[in-house]
């Protein structure tokens, strides 16, 4: 995939937007977050944080985890919210087609799953199994 097209297939804009929502919800500036992260061992510039929040820069797992730990939020919740927003945007952009939003979402998730490495696919399978157990448990109550 060409570098210039990476934003079309990844959720970096949405992850950045979710991180910005959390930061602004905590009434913190980017500078404040950078200082706090540095105290926790992650040295990241204000500029880089801003570029991440604006979707101009990819974020690696270690950085995402460090930022989420600083905000005291679960990184998975950030990824899930970002994924939902990405799917919503894809659905809007595909609204002229005959495909339903459910089909677009399913196709997109299918593609994401198959682009994961073996460990990632295993983690997704474990999550799906846990969700199935939760659903079965809820039905028994």
Q: What is the pLDDT of residues 33-84, one digit of tens each?
A: 999 999 999 999 999 999 999 988 988 889 999 999 999 999 888 888 888 8
In angstroms, the CA 36 to CA 43 distance is 9
In the predicted structure, residue 3 carries a pLDDT above the cut 70: no
Whole-prediction pTM value? 0.63
Query: What residues does each domain of the chain span?
Result: 3-73, 94-140
The answer to whether the beta carbons of residues 116 and 124 sit under 8 Å apart is: yes
DSSP 28: -
In angstroms, the CA 39 to CA 56 distance is 25
In angstroms, the CA 39 to CA 25 distance is 21
83 compared with 141, residue with greater pLDDT: 83
List, for residues 89-101, the tens digit of each pLDDT value.
777 766 555 555 5
Q: Indicate the SS3 state at residue 72.
A: coil
Instruction: Please compute, for residue 69, the number of CA atoms within 13 A of its CA located in the half-sphere on the CB side.
Output: 13
Say which CATH superfamily domain 3-73 falls into: lambda repressor-like DNA-binding domains (1.10.260.40)
φ, ψ dihedrals at 126, nearest 5°:
-65, -40
């Amino acid at each position: 995939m060409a570098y210039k097209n990476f934003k079309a297939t990844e959720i970096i804009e949405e992850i950045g937007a979710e991180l910005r929502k959390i930061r602004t919800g905590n009434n913190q500036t980017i500078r404040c977050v950078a200082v706090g992260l540095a105290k926790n061992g992650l040295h990241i510039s204000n500029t880089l944080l801003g570029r991440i929040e604006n979707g101009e820069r990819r974020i690696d797992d270690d950085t995402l985890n460090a930022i989420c730990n600083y905000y005291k939020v679960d990184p998975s919740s950030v990824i899930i919210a970002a994924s939902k927003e990405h799917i919503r945007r894809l659905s809007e952009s595909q609204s002229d087609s005959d495909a339903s939003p459910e089909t677009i979402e399913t196709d997109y998730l299918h593609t994401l799953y198959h682009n994961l490495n073996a460990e990632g696919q295993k983690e997704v399978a474990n999550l799906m199994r846990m969700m199935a157990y939760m659903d079965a448990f809820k039905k028994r109550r």
